[in-house]
Amino acid sequence: MQLHQLSYFVAVADTRHFTRASELMRIAQPSISQQIRALERDVGAELFHRIRGNLSLTEAGETLLPFARRILADTESAYQAVRELDELARGKVRLGATPSLCTGLLPAMLARFRAAYPGIDLTLRESGSRDLQNDVSEGSLDLAMIVDSRLRDHSLLRTRPLFIEELVVISAKDRPAPVRRARMRIVDLEDRPLVMFRRGYDLRDVTMDACHAEGFEPSFAIEGGEMDAVLECVDAGMGIAVVPSTVVRDRFRVTRFAAPGLSRVVRLAYREDVKPSRAVRALHETITHQLTDAAALPRGIQSLVKEGEPM
């Protein structure tokens, strides 16, 4: 009994027709008939009733069919398992993330992934959430970590929440605190020079929206920078900035917002219609596992991941 004979047998059983089964399996009809005859000799019983062009399973055929399906399914599972082992040894993953995530939380996740899967080729692209969503939708990225407020309608795109990230105000350590209280209100940003990100940057939009909701237009000390430039300008004493708590190191004075605070939701985006490779699933598992490890989470992060949730 050979695997291809079982495949032909299942195809004939499903179609109840040798010609249609041969078309389905892309093999000449006489060949599929010969293989079914050979299988019948091997099992020692006829598998089909052949009466006046009508084809039906014999009792032996009915008995064999579920076993044949199970054998073929188990064989495919075995091949898939071996292929996935190869993917973990030599696979590729293309990940996108916003610059603030690349500066803050993501490096620790990628270091953990690299230590576990050194053979996987990992590519990282920094960009804004809108561009990253387009890249995932078009297939040039496998996964992207994006900001919730910048979600767009993509029919092929699926997202799931990862965490809520607290936003804080940073200022130079050698300058006075922006307020005398322990915490700031959004309205306290009025008339204080802000080091502002470039247009289209997620953090710029969040800050501007919060200020506009309080009824004022913020003033800028300088605008147009990426994350590294904004941090350097604040460190030089040019102004204050609203940034994720995860990018802050000991080099800055940090002031948190009063309740309800200011935060953003970070999501993982991927194609709903594309089955992820084992390498992609491994990165997803690494990210979600770290977010369920309370001891590994920095201050200002509230995980939204459900442990064990499959991709």
The residue extents of the domains of the chain are 3-88, 90-164+265-303, 165-263
| Domain pair 90-164+265-303 / 165-263, same fold | yes
What distance in Å separates the CA atoms of residue 36 and residue 202, rounded to the nearest whole number? 63
How confident is the model at residue 311, as a pLDDT? 67
Task: Encode burial over 235-264: b for 16+ CB neighbours within 10 A, e otherwise.
Answer: beebbbbbbbbbbbeeebbbbbbeeeebbb
pLDDT higher than threshold 90 for residue 21: no
- pLDDT of residue 221 exceeding 90, the answer is yes
User: 3-88 has which CATH code?
Assistant: 1.10.10.10
Instruction: Give pLDDT tens digits for 246-304.
Output: 888 788 999 999 999 999 999 999 998 888 888 999 999 999 998 988 777 888 899 99
Name the pLDDT band for 171 (thresholds 50, 70, 90).
Answer: very high
pLDDT above 90 covers a percentage of the chain that reads 56
235: left (phi over 0), alpha (psi -120 to 50) or beta: alpha
Q: Which of 133, 146, 169 is nearest to 256 (CA)?
A: 169
Is the Cβ–Cβ distance between 272 and 156 less than 8 Å?
yes
**Range 56-75 burial, b when 16+ CB lie within 10 A, else e:** ebeeebeebbeebeebeeee
Q: Between residues 100 and 156, which one has the greater pLDDT?
A: 100
What's the pLDDT score for residue 148?
Answer: 79
What's the CATH superfamily of 90-164+265-303? Periplasmic binding protein-like II (3.40.190.10)
Long-range own/partner contacts, residues 84-90 (CB < 8 A, 24 or more apart)? 84/277, 84/278, 85/278, 87/277, 87/278, 87/279, 88/117, 88/119, 88/120, 88/278, 88/279, 88/282, 89/119, 90/119, 90/120, 90/121
Cα–Cα distance, 198 to 102 (Å, whole number): 17
Question: What pLDDT was estimated at residue 201?
Answer: 85
What is the helix (H) or strand (E) element at residue 43, kind and residue range? helix 29-43
pTM as predicted = 0.69
Provide the pLDDT for residue 1. Answer: 75
Q: Which two tokens stand for residue 263?
A: 């935060």
What's the pLDDT score for residue 52? Answer: 76
Which of 263, 226, 232 is CA-nearest to residue 249? 232
Res 296: pLDDT:
76
Q: Mean pLDDT throughout 7-25?
A: 89
* Average pLDDT score, the chain: 89
What's the CA angle centered on 244, arms 93 and 202, to 5 degrees? 70
Looking at domain 165-263, its CATH superfamily turns out to be Periplasmic binding protein-like II (3.40.190.10)
CB 197 within 8 A of CB 230: yes
Give the burial string for 102-136 (b: 16+ CB within 10 Å, else e). bbbbbeebbebbeeebeebeeeeebbbbebbbbbb
146 neighbors 133 (Cβ within 8 angstroms): yes
Mean pLDDT value across residues 120-149: 90
Task: Please state, as a whole number, how many other Cβ atoms lie within 10 Å of the Cβ of residue 212.
Answer: 11
Q: What is the DSSP letter of 104?
A: T
